[in-house]
Amino acid sequence: MKINKMLSPEAAKKELSERIKQHRILSGITQEKLADMAMVSVRTVKRFEAGEEISLLNFIRILNALDLTDGLDGLVPDQELRPSLHMSEYKPRKRVSVKKSPKKEWKWGDEQ
C-alpha cells in the first residue's frame, strides 16, 4: 500500500508503523533491543507498533536506531537550497497572504 494523500491519516499511521515493525523483524531486532538502542521504553515500542500515539521525538529515536532517518530529509525540502533564494532581489516571505478578487461594481439589480 502506498502512503499518500489518498490514505486517511489513521491508515497512513497504521501502514507506517507496520512497515517499521516489519523492518525491525527482518533486521532480527527484538522490541526490547530496539527500545534499548533508541533509548525509549519497551512500552513505547509496543504502542508504536500497535499504531498508538507516541511523541515525535520518540518516533525519530526509533528511526535513528533502525538507521531509517536518511529518508526524512526528503519529506520537507530545505527551502534554503532553492536556487531562487540566491537571487539578489529575493526577499524571503514572512507570512502567507491571500489575493483579493477585484471588487465588482454594485448595481441595484433592475439595471441591465
Residue 32 and residue 92: Cα distance in Å, rounded? 46
> What domains does the chain contain, in order, with CATH numbers?
10-70 (1.10.260.40)
Radius of gyration of the chain (CA): 24
How many residues are present in the chain?
Answer: 112
Terminal Cα distance for the chain, rounded: 57
The separation between CA 30 and the C-alpha centre of its own chain, rounded to angstroms, equals 26
Residue 92 and residue 88: Cα distance in Å, rounded? 11
Residue 8 and residue 47: Cα distance in Å, rounded? 20
pLDDT tens track, the chain, 112 positions: 888 889 899 999 999 999 999 999 999 999 999 999 999 999 999 999 999 999 999 999 999 999 999 888 878 777 777 666 556 666 667 777 777 777 777 777 776 6
Residue 110 and residue 112: Cα distance in Å, rounded? 7
Q: What is the reported pTM? A: 0.69
Query: Residue 74's pLDDT is what?
Result: 79
